[in-house]
Amino acid sequence: MSLQIASISQNCKALRLPSVGAQFASLAEEAAQHKHSHLHYLEALLQSEMEDRERRSIELRMKEAHLPRIKTLEEFDFAQSPHIPAARIRALAEGGYLERAEPVLLVGDPGTGKSHLATGLAIAACRQRKRVRFTTAAALVNQLVEAQREQSLSRMLARWSRVELIVIDEVGYVPLAEVAAELLFQVIAERAEKAAIIVTTNLPFSEWPQVFTNARLCKAVLDRLPDQAHIIETGSESYRFRRTLRKKAKE
């Protein structure tokens, strides 16, 4: 029997079936105890492999997304932020906006949960096996400027275009030089009606000229980004501050 187990384990390794290799013996014993049929045993074994592959695929998607931290929508306390439309957020998490290539704009003051919600939606997209990338506006602009300097901008823009969901966090925290604003606009314009984008910002649209100081460019951004967008206002009262107070109250 030990030789047979060793042979099966070796074959599973060669066929790249790690879950089958890890589970076949214990599932066989369980099937014998409960007098399950061979087909029932095979189904359980293959199901185990499928679930393991799904888990590893999601883990890879989340790693490639470069999420700053793992914050799911399940962890967001909507009861403490009743002005945020929980039903709309949960509907977005189902992924329809990804298929329709619709933007999602999270607008509100610092600490109101914008980044948490954006991260939660990004994780939901990873669970649906979408290619996701999370970045801040400043980091993205720095990458684009560096690529332009190294004459590799076209390749970088092509890589970003293949991502099914881009999350650009913290738009509006730092004014952009005209060249940087034009490069960011290229990324946004390229995705219009082609692929989804999530943007978080602390500025109402009326104040975006502070970021895109070129009036023509600002008008072009506002013409493309809010069009067909899901605009979620997170308000002005700090979710982060209230959460800190609750933690201290429990200590």
For residue 62, the Cα-to-chain-centroid distance in whole angstroms is 7
Q: Please give the residue that has the higher pLDDT: either 36 or 75.
A: 75
**Do 183 and 95 fall within a single domain?**
yes
| Closest to 186 in 3D by CA, of 210, 213, 160 | 160
Looking at the 3D structure of the chain, how many domains does it have? 2
**Do 57 and 79 fall within a single domain?**
no
Which of 14, 34, 61 is the C-terminal boundary of a domain?
Answer: 61
**Do 107 and 160 fall within a single domain?**
yes
pLDDT in tens, 77-115: 998 888 899 999 999 999 999 999 999 999 999 889 999
In terms of phi and psi (left: phi > 0; alpha: psi -120 to 50; beta: otherwise), the region of 107 is beta
Q: Please give the residue that has the higher pLDDT: either 235 or 3.
A: 235
**Do 37 and 133 fall within a single domain?**
no
What does the DSSP assignment read for 118-162? HHHHHHHHHHTT--EEEEEHHHHHHHHHHHHHTT-HHHHHHHHHT
CATH code at 113? 3.40.50.300
Single-letter amino acid code for the residue at 211: V
Query: Is residue 66 in some structural domain?
Result: no
Query: Is residue 96 in some structural domain?
Result: yes
Q: What is the model's pLDDT at position 42?
A: 82
- Residue 133 belongs to what domain range? 73-250
| Secondary element (H or E) of residue 201 | strand 196-201
**Do 32 and 155 fall within a single domain?**
no
Query: Is residue 124 in some structural domain?
Result: yes
**Helix/strand number for the chain, H first, E second:** 11, 5
pLDDT in tens, 183-228: 999 999 888 889 999 999 999 989 999 888 888 999 988 888 888 8
**Do 40 and 127 fall within a single domain?**
no
Under 8 Å between Cβ of 99 and 69: no
Q: What is the model's pLDDT at position 28?
A: 81
Query: Is residue 234 in some structural domain?
Result: yes
What band does 244 get if pLDDT is binned at 50, 70 and 90?
low
In whole angstroms, give the CA distance from residue 80 to residue 77: 6
Query: Is residue 67 in some structural domain?
Result: no
**Stretch among 27-36, 89-98, 180-189, 226-235 having the lowest mean pLDDT:** 27-36
Pairing of strands 104-108, 132-136: unpaired
Query: Is residue 54 in some structural domain?
Result: yes
| Closest to 62 in 3D by CA, of 118, 129, 115 | 129
In whole angstroms, give the CA distance from residue 247 to residue 77: 13
**Residue 162 reports pLDDT greater than 70:** yes
**Do 209 and 241 fall within a single domain?**
yes
**Do 133 and 185 fall within a single domain?**
yes
**Do 121 and 233 fall within a single domain?**
yes
**Stretch among 38-47, 138-147, 160-169, 178-187 having the lowest mean pLDDT:** 38-47
Average pLDDT over residues 9-21: 79
**Do 137 and 161 fall within a single domain?**
yes
pTM: 0.82
Average pLDDT over residues 39-53: 84
Q: Please give the residue that has the higher pLDDT: either 50 or 15.
A: 50
Under 8 Å between Cβ of 202 and 108: yes
Query: Is residue 24 in some structural domain?
Result: yes
**Do 126 and 170 fall within a single domain?**
yes
**Do 52 and 81 fall within a single domain?**
no
In whole angstroms, give the CA distance from residue 110 to residue 239: 9
